[in-house]
Every structure is written in structure tokens, then in C-alpha cells.
């Protein structure tokens, strides 16, 4: 419409447009610190010109839409890297706790306790009949056992803490996916008619939070909704629906995806980044490996000491004795897995000797009784062993001993006035049954001193001579046990992989050497995690800068824009007053 | 490049966080005076530290073992020195009593002296260190010789560990020293003294003369044993010296790896402090500036 009306309408449109500009600028200024906010700007285009006589006159300005400055590619990159960084940050926190558990710088560290243990056996060798040395060894061994059990408990507790964190994480993930599904609906609805800038920003923030929890891939559909897929292709969000993750498994330690029906998919081993990825890596790869390694080390340590200890004799023979390891079935061969003995695989074909002494200390029957052990299938069972000891016709020298089986453990009792002792065990059946052993248990959580050693005289520092005699000044067995410190044996070492499972390898090392390399290995793992975190952090930082350079609000810029729109507004207002004057002039023509 | 307002503050936060973390680390090193406060500070170094500590512990234990051994050896040496002197006294008495100028009454009183010597030697043979008999082999709980000179110990001398695979005999097989051919044999000191005593009581000059030869042999045997013990002592002392040097070398190595060089640590601390102050100052300056101040 030509004429004065045109100026008024142009002025009106201009005022509106500049006002929209100021509205959008004030929105930007208000949200300068809102995380994930992308600055918005109004798109102002000229209106379609209209013919006016021979001329084509422009009709002013129109604000068509408000767009947000967002580079989705940079946003996606940033999300991925943040996901990696968060995973390393979480791992760093927990691995530093793990490092403290293996803190070797204090006086009560594992390696100093082990060194003291070996030294105390040498002290006993310097005075085999002395009480104070035996008491010192007993106390130290108790402390060492408690130290290992506590370490084992701490590792288990750390694992439980990680599982709780994972559970909390899953709840958070479910909440976020629900919200994203809702936003999807809102965005699809809004974008039917205009742009949904703030909803998209909100969704990006949620998406970023989600990617910090676990690894995801997001795809935008043509209708503007976001489809989010995670490990093993499980869909978390699709259009308006969200699918939840759950905790499952016997120990509540598996993460499963629950479909809309009843199917579940176990995705625990495929979550690679984000907090969950970090926690799962920490728990299932790192913590599991060192727990298994610690147990393997303690199991071997117990065996080494027990095997040598069972070859010796204390200051007096036994009058009654109970083994510490129980079989699960008394009719299974001792040397097989079915026997239920933790050290069944160490039993081999061989013999051991039992010496019985009367009240004056003389050997009954002038000699030992040799018992044969067959470790093959079809070989010696616990019942066989008991029957052999009780067989008074074949083994008359053992007539004053009675063997029984109580709750799977072998018990031997001597008649009043008689004592007995062991020597020359080539079959390893004595330490495997816990007879004449120093420690009991077979893992870091179960190691303890054999209750028979409460009587310190049973600590076997000596060995029985070929004629059955043993003296209080003999330190042969104590020397042999002290010498174990430097003997290398094959100790299992685990490699844990979340996808391929845990494999048991083996290395040859001394007890101390194995522990040292375990501590060193933890240090290296921790170093690597810290370095990876620092690297990722630097990357995230750089990408954040780039993202903010595209989408961030710069107050200086907004202030300048504010001035720009303000001046334009005053000019447009001036247009109205001019147009008003012109109309007045026209109307007042007589 | 366009810099959003947010970026300025984020950078300030990030940089200050990094610098305070470095400052903290430097401070920890200075306050503990140790380079290695956690396995991740220097994993390889820590493994070496543990290994050296283990060696040091071993060496200290071996030193304790040697101390026990030396006490046994010196007790043995001093006892045998006395025994040697007593035998020499007995011999002197013998020679004097074998001359024609002494008579039966003097020989009778000499017999009492010999009895004293006999009992003295028995008691020396039953010397104990901390309640353990040093001439009884490994039967250290029972006195090796009874009043009749019968040996009740065994023939395995007590030994202590002086090296990873080395044992040193520090006890003695009493039988081998005092009666190598068994009780009552021709080289049994106790038997010789008993013979001398009865010869004196019976005024038997040829009997007295006969013991002089045995006494000589026994004296030589004890001398040989004393020098054997002497050389064992020397071996112990040499070992002690080696261990002291080993301890010193290991302690130095340990310190080199695990202790912080204080000068270096403090310089680093100062460096980080200065960096921190500079960062704080520049951050404050940047955060102040805004277009609004000029409008």
C-alpha cells in the first residue's frame, strides 16, 4: 500500500524488528553463563517489494526467524572427548585409592612385614629353643595375616563402592533419557511451525551429560528428534520413547538394557567411555586383576611356608592334631579336583613317615611307619588314609594312634603318654591336608596362623634325624623356611579383559619379587591413566574454546548489538513522529 | 578468533587449577623430602627402592646372626683357653710328682688338686651361652658331660646363617674335643685325669709318667681347636666388615632413588609459586575488563 500509510507501516515493522532484536540480545545477555547455551540472533530480511506506480518500493523489514549459532559437528566432537575425559577422571580417582592401599612408604607396609617374617625365622634359627623368638614369630605372623585379610577386604569394598556408583549412574541415565524423549516430542511439535532453539540447547546439554555417563551415538531424524544408541546397538531414545538400563546379575554387578518387551541385553562389557565406562574398567579390569593376583600370591606364600614347615618338628611331638583343610567328600581321591582341597593339585605320588614316641621319648617299634600316597584317579582318599593309620596289623608301630575324620578334616589322636611327629613327606599330602602346617587358609581373605601353633613349641624349627631323634638345638627347618625368601616359584598372574574374559598366566618369581612387580604395575597403570586424563582434558579444553567461539555469548558483542538495536529503535520511532507530522500536515490542508 | 565471555573465565579456572595442582605436588615433595610418595610418582624407582630395602633388611638380619655366632665362638675360645691352662697345670703337677724327691703324702694331696682340675674341666665343658650348652652339638638343652665324663650330646655342631646359602658352625661337638675315640679312650681328657688321680693316690710313679704323654697330646688337640675357633672368628669379622660396606652402599643407593634433592625441590616450589602469583595477577586483570566500564 503506497503513500503515507507505507511509512507508518514500515516504521511499525521497524520498531517491532528492532524490539525483537533487543529481546533476543537481552535473552543472550541473560544466558551468558548458562552452560550449553548457543547465542541466538534474529534473522531480518527485507519484505517483498510492492509496485507503486512505475516504482518497486521496499516495504520494510521482517524478522523471519531466530536462529542459534551452533556447529553440531564441533558439539559432537566435544561430547565424544568429554566422554573419554570423564571416564579417565573417574578412573584416576579410584586408582589413587588403590595406590594408597598398596602404599609401600609407611613402616607397616606389606613388604616390610614380609621381610620381618623371614627375619624372624632366622632369629629362631639362632635360638631354636628360645621362647621369645617363637612368640615374636607368632605375633608377627598374626599381624601379617590380618594385614592380608584387611587388604583383601579393602579391595572388595572398593569393588562394592564402584558397583554402587554404577547403580546410581544407571538411575541418572534413565532420568536423562526420559527427559530427552520428552524434549524430542516438544522439538518435533515446535519445529512444525518455527525454530525450537532453547529446546535444542536443553537437549544438547542433556546429551552431553548422557555422553559423560556412557558411550553413545546420536542421530538426528528428519523430524528433528534425536535417536540415541549405545553399546551393542541398544537404543536408549527413539522419538518419544526411552528405554531403560537396569542392574542385574547375581551380585548386582551387571548392566542390562531392557527393551519395551521382556528382552534384556547384557551390555556391561561393552560400555567403554563415560563415567560408567571408567567405573566398569576400574572394577572389572584393574581391581579384578589385582585382587586375583593378590590371592594367587598369598596362596603360593601359604603353600611354600606350609610345605617346608610340614617337613619339620617342633620342640615336642603332637598328642592330638587336626588338619586345617577339609575335603568336600571323604570318598574322593585326594589328588583330584573333586576332593575339594584347595591345594589338591600339589599332591603327588609319594610317601611320608610317622614316628611315634612313648613317654620316655623312645621311638615305638624302633622305626617310622611309611605311608604311601597315590595321587592318581582311583588313588588314596581321605578314608583310605584314615584306615591305613588305624590298621594295626599292617602298621603295628601306629597302634597307639587313632585317626578319625571330623567335618572333612583328618584328626589324629595318640593314647595317653604317647606323642607323634612327621618327616620326609615327598607326596605333599601333609601340607595339603593342613597337618603340621604353619598357616591356614588359601587366599588373601582367609590366611591365618594355624591354631595348632598356639602352642609355640609346635613351631617346627628342627627336623627328625634318621634314627627318629630330634633336638632342641636343631635349626635345620628354620633355616630352610628362612631360605624360602629367595626361592623363585611359578605364581599365577592374571590378565583381565572385559570382553575376552580373564586369563590366568604364570610368572616365576620370589614372593617379594612378585609383590614388588605388582606395586610397580599399579604405579604404571595409575601413571597411564593420569596422562590420558591430562591429554583428554587439554583436548576438551581446546574443543570447548572452539565451540564457545562459535556458540558462546560475548558480552562485549551483545552490548554493541544492544546499542545497534537501540539506535535503530530511536530512528524508527523518529520515523513515526515524522510520518505523524506528514499526516497532520496533510489532514490540516484546507 | 572470536572469544566468548565464558571462555575467558573457563580459561582462568583451568589454568589456576593446573598451577595449584603443580604447586601442591611440589609442596608435597618438599615436606616429605621424598621423591616417591605414591607408586605412580615413579613406579620403576619404587620397585628398586623395595628391592634395596629388602637387601638392607637381609644384611641387618645376617649381622644379628653373626653377633650370635661371635658370642658363641668367643665363649668357646675363652673356655678352651682355660682348659688349656688347666691341662698345662696338670702336666706341671705330673712332672713334679714324678720326681724322686716327692713322697706319698705329697702325691696324695696332689691327687686332690687333680680332682679339682677334673671338676673344673667338666664344668668348662658344660659352658653355656644364654642357657644353651656350646659343647653339646645340637643337644643344646642338656649339659654335654656328666660327672663321670660320659658324653650326652650329639655330633652336629650348632650353626648360624651368615649368608644367603652359607652357614657357619659356631657350636662344638664336645665329644670331638674332649674324647674323640669315645669315653674311656686313650685320648679322653677325663679318663687321663682319672688315671692320673688314681696313680697319685696309689703312689704309682710310672703311672704318673704315663699320663704326661696323653696330657701333651690333649694339650696340642685343644690348641688346634682354639686356633680353628680363632680363624672362624676372623671369618665372622671379615663378613661383618663386608656387610657394613654393603649396608652403606645400599643406603646410599636407596637415598639417591627415593630422597628428594632438597635444593631442586625447593627451587621447583619457588618456580611454581611465582607462576601461580603471575597467573593470579593476570587473571584478575582480564576479569576486570568489560565494555560496560566504558559506556
Interface of B with A in 151-170 (CB under 8 A): 154, 156, 158-161, 164-165, 167
* A25-71: pLDDT as tens digits: 999 999 999 888 999 999 999 998 888 888 888 888 999 889 999 89
Is B98 domain-assigned? yes
Indicate whether A111 pLDDT > 80.
yes
- What average pLDDT score do residues B191-196 get? 90
Q: Could you tell me if A20 and A52 are in contact, meaning their C-beta atoms sit under 8 angstroms apart?
A: no
**Band of pLDDT at residue B183, cut at 50, 70 and 90:** confident
Residue B109 shares a structural domain with residue B185: yes
Measured in angstroms, the CA of A213 and the nearest CA of chain B are apart by: 22
- Could B50 and A102 be called an inter-chain contact, meaning their C-beta atoms sit closer than 8 Å? no
What integer pLDDT is reported at residue B290 of this predicted model? 81
* A375-407: pLDDT as tens digits: 888 888 999 999 999 988 888 888 899 999 999
- Could B130 and A127 be called an inter-chain contact, meaning their C-beta atoms sit closer than 8 Å? yes
What integer pLDDT is reported at residue B294 of this predicted model? 84
Residue B151 shares a structural domain with residue B23: no
* A235-267: pLDDT as tens digits: 999 989 999 999 988 888 889 898 888 888 899
Residue B174 shares a structural domain with residue B281: no
Residue B184 shares a structural domain with residue B279: no
Interface of A with B in 291-350 (CB under 8 A): none
What integer pLDDT is reported at residue A1 of this predicted model? 46
List A68's β-bridge partners, or say none: A40
Q: Report the range of poorest mean pLDDT among A76-80, A294-298, B183-187, B208-212.
A: B183-187
Residue B67 shares a structural domain with residue B131: yes
* B146-179: pLDDT as tens digits: 988 889 888 999 999 999 889 999 999 999 999 8
What integer pLDDT is reported at residue A251 of this predicted model? 81
Within 8 A of A544 by CB-CB distance, chain B residues are 7, 10
Is B186 domain-assigned? yes
Asked if B54 has any chain A CB less than 8 Å from its own CB, the reply is: yes
Is B90 domain-assigned? yes
Within 8 A of B11 by CB-CB distance, chain A residues are 545
What integer pLDDT is reported at residue A263 of this predicted model? 87
Interface of A with B in 503-542 (CB under 8 A): 512, 516-517, 519-524, 526-527, 530, 541
Residue B239 shares a structural domain with residue B278: no
What integer pLDDT is reported at residue A296 of this predicted model? 96
Asked if B171 has any chain A CB less than 8 Å from its own CB, the reply is: yes
- Could A556 and B50 be called an inter-chain contact, meaning their C-beta atoms sit closer than 8 Å? no
The DSSP bridge pattern shows strands B132-133 and B159-161 to be: unpaired
Sign of the Cα pseudo-torsion (A108, A114, A116, A117, in order): positive
Could you tell me the pTM of the whole model? 0.90
Asked if A490 has any chain B CB less than 8 Å from its own CB, the reply is: no
Asked if A406 has any chain B CB less than 8 Å from its own CB, the reply is: no
Between CA A290 and CA A283 the distance in angstroms is 10
Is B46 domain-assigned? no
Nearest neighbour of A473 by CB, restricted to B4, B132, B295: B132
| Structural domain boundaries, residue B188 | 51-254
Phi/psi region, residue A378 (left: phi>0; alpha: psi -120 to 50; beta: rest), is left
Residue B248 shares a structural domain with residue B267: no
Q: Could you tell me if B197 and B164 are in contact, meaning their C-beta atoms sit under 8 angstroms apart?
A: no
* A62-75: pLDDT as tens digits: 998 899 998 989 99
Number of domain units in chain B: 2
Residue B81 shares a structural domain with residue B204: yes
Instruction: Name the residue among A220, A217, A219, A243 with its Cα closest to residue A230.
Output: A217
Interface of B with A in 21-40 (CB under 8 A): 34, 36-40
What is the pLDDT of chain A when averaged over all its residues? 91
For residue B205, the domain's CATH number is: 1.20.1330.10
- What average pLDDT score do residues A294-304 get? 96
Asked if B6 has any chain A CB less than 8 Å from its own CB, the reply is: yes
Residue B19 shares a structural domain with residue B63: no
Indicate whether A571 pLDDT > 60.
yes
What integer pLDDT is reported at residue A2 of this predicted model? 58
Question: What ranges do the domains of chain A cover?
Answer: 4-69+552-587
Q: Dihedral through CA A263, CA A266, CA A267, CA A269, nearest 10?
A: -170
- Could A553 and B50 be called an inter-chain contact, meaning their C-beta atoms sit closer than 8 Å? no
- Could B6 and A512 be called an inter-chain contact, meaning their C-beta atoms sit closer than 8 Å? no
Residue B116 shares a structural domain with residue B219: yes
In chain B, the percentage of residues whose pLDDT exceeds 90 is 60
Between CA A285 and CA A272 the distance in angstroms is 12
Measured in angstroms, the CA of A207 and the nearest CA of chain B are apart by: 20
Asked if B139 has any chain A CB less than 8 Å from its own CB, the reply is: yes
How would DSSP label each residue in A101-138? HT-TTSTT-HHHHHHHHHHHHHHHHHSTT-HHHHHHHH
Amino acid at each position: 500500500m503506497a503513500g503515507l500509510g507505507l511509512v507508518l507501516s514500515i516504521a511499525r515493522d521497524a520498531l517491532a524488528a528492532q524490539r525483537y532484536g533487543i529481546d533476543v540480545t537481552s535473552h543472550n545477555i541473560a544466558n551468558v553463563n548458562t552452560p550449553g547455551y548457543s547465542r541466538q540472533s534474529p534473522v531480518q530480511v527485507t519484505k517483498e517489494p510492492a509496485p507503486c506506480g512505475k516504482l518497486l518500493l521496499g516495504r520494510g523489514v521482517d524478522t523471519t526467524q531466530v536462529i542459534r549459532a551452533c556447529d553440531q559437528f564441533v558439539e559432537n566432537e566435544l561430547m565424544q572427548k568429554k566422554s573419554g575425559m570423564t571416564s579417565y577422571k573417574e578412573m584416576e580417582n579410584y586408582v589413587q585409592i588403590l595406590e594408597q592401599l598398596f602404599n609401600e612408604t609407611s613402616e607397616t607396609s606389606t613388604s616390610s612385614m614380609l621381610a620381618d617374617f623371614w627375619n624372624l625365622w632366622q632369629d629362631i634359627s639362632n635360638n631354636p629353643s628360645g621362647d621369645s623368638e617363637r612368640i615374636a614369630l607368632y605375633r608377627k605372623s598374626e599381624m601379617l595375616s590380618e594385614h592380608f585379610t584387611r587388604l583383601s577386604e579393602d579391595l572388595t569394598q572398593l569393588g562394592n563402592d564402584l558397583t554402587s556408583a554404577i547403580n546410581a549412574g544407571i538411575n541418572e541415565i534413565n532420568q536423562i533419557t526420559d527427559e530427552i524423549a520428552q524434549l524430542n516430542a516438544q522439538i518435533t511439535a515446535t519445529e512444525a511451525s518455527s525454530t525450537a532453539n532453547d529446546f535444542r540447547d536443553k537437549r544438547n546439554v542433556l546429551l552431553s551429560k548422557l555422553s559423560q555417563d556412557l558411550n553413545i551415538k546420536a542421530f538426528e531424524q528428519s523430524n528433528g528428534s534425536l535417536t540415541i544408541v549405545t553399546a551393542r546397538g541398544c537404543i536408549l531414545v527413539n522419538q518419544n520413547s526411552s528405554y531403560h538400563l537396569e542392574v542385574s546379575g547375581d551380585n548386582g554387578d551387571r548392566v542390562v538394557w531392557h527393551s519395551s518387551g521382556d528382552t534384556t541385553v547384557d551390555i556391561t562389557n561393552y560400555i567403554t567411555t563415560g563415567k560408567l565406562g571408567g567405573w566398569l574398567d576400574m572394577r572389572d579390569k584393574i581391581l579384578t586383576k589385582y585382587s586375583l593376583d593378590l590371592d594367587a600370591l598369598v596362596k603360593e606364600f601359604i603353600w611354600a611356608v606350609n610345605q617346608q614347615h610340614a617337613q619339620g618338628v617342633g620342640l615336642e611331638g603332637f598328642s592330638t592334631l587336626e588338619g586345617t583343610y577339609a575335603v568336600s567328600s571323604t570318598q574322593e581321591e585326594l589328588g583330584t579336583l573333586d576332593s575339594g582341597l584347595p591345594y589338591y593339585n600339589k599332591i603327588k605320588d609319594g610317601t611320608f613317615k610317622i614316628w611315634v614316641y612313648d613317654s620316655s621319648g623312645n621311638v615305638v617299634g624302633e622305626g617310622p611307619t611309611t605311608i604311601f600316597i597315590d595321587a592318581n584317579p582311583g588313588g588314596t582318599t581321605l578314608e583310605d588314609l584314615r584306615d591305613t593309620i588305624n590298621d594295626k596289623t599292617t602298621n603295628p608301630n601306629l597302634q597307639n594312634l587313632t585317626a578319625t575324620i571330623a567335618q572333612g578334616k583328618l584328626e589324629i589322636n595318640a593314647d595317653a603318654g604317647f606323642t607323634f611327629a612327621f618327616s620326609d613327606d615327598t607326596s605333599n599330602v601333609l601340607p595339603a591336608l593342613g597337618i603340621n602346617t604353619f598357616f591356614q587358609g588359601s587366599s588373601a581373605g582367609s590366611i591365618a596362623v594355624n591354631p595348632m601353633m598356639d602352642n609355640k613349641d609346635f613351631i617346627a624349627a628342627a627336623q627328625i634325624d634318621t634314627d627318629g631323634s630330634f633336638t632342641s638345638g636343631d635349626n635345620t627347618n628354620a633355616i630352610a623356611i628362612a631360605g624360602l625368601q629367595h626361592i623363585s616359584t611359578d605364581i599365577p598372574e592374571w590378565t583381565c579383559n572385559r570382553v575376552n574374559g580373564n586369563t590366568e598366566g604364570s610368572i616365576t618369581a620370589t614372593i617379594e619379587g612378585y609383590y614388588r612387580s605388582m606395586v610397580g604395575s599399579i604405579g604404571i597403570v595409575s601413571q597411564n591413566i593420569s596422562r590420558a586424563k591430562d591429554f583428554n582434558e587439554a583436548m576438551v579444553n581446546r574443543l570447548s574454546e572452539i565451540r564457545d567461539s562459535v556458540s558462546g555469548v560475548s558480552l562485549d558483542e551483545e552490548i554493541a548489538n544492544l546499542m545497534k538495536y537501540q539506535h535503530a529503535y530511536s530512528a524508527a520511532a523518529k520515523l513515526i513522529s515524522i510520518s505523524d507530522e506528514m499526516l497532520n500536515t496533510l489532514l490540516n490542508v484546507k | 578468533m572470536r572469544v566468548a565471555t565464558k571462555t575467558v573465565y573457563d580459561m582462568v579456572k583451568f589454568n589456576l587449577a593446573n598451577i595449584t595442582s603443580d604447586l601442591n605436588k611440589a609442596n608435597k615433595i618438599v615436606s616429605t623430602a621424598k621423591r616417591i610418595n605414591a607408586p605412580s610418582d615413579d613406579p620403576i624407582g619404587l620397585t628398586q627402592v623395595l628391592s634395596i630395602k629388602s637387601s638392607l633388611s637381609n644384611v641387618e638380619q645376617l649381622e644379628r646372626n653373626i653377633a650370635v655366632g661371635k658370642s658363641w665362638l668367643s665363649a668357646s675360645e675363652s673356655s678352651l683357653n682355660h682348659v688349656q691352662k688347666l691341662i698345662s697345670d696338670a702336666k706341671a703337677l705330673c712332672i713334679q710328682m714324678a720326681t724322686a724327691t716327692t713322697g706319698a703324702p705329697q702325691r696324695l694331696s696332689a691327687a686332690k688338686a687333680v680332682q679339682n682340675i677334673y671338676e673344673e674341666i667338666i664344668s668348662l665343658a658344660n659352658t653355656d651361652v644364654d642357657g644353651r650348652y656350646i659343647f653339646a652339638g645340637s643337644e643344646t638343652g642338656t649339659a654335654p658331660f656328666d660327672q663321670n665324663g660320659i658324653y650326652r650330646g650329639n655330633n652336629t655342631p650348632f650353626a648360624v646363617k651368615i649368608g644367603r646359602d652359607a652357614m657357619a658352625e659356631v657350636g662344638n661337638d664336645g665329644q670331638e674335643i674332649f674324647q674323640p675315640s669315645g669315653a674311656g679312650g686313650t685320648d679322653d681328657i677325663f679318663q687321663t685325669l682319672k688315671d692320673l688321680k688314681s696313680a697319685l693316690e696309689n703312689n704309682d710313679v710310672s703311672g704318673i709318667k704315663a699320663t704326661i704323654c696323653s696330657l701333651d697330646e690333649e694339650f696340642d688337640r685343644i690348641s688346634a681347636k682354639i686356633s680353628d675357633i680363632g680363624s672362624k672368628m676372623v671369618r665372622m669379622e671379615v663378613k661383618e666388615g663386608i656387610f657394613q660396606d654393603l649396608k652403606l652402599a645400599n643406603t646410599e643407593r636407596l637415598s639417591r632413588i627415593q630422597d628428594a634433592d632438597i635444593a631442586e625441590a625447593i627451587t621447583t616450589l619457588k618456580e611454581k609459586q611465582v607462576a601461580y602469583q603471575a597467573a593470579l595477577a593476570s587473571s584478575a586483570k582480564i576479569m576486570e575488563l568489560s565494555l560496560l566500564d566504558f559506556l
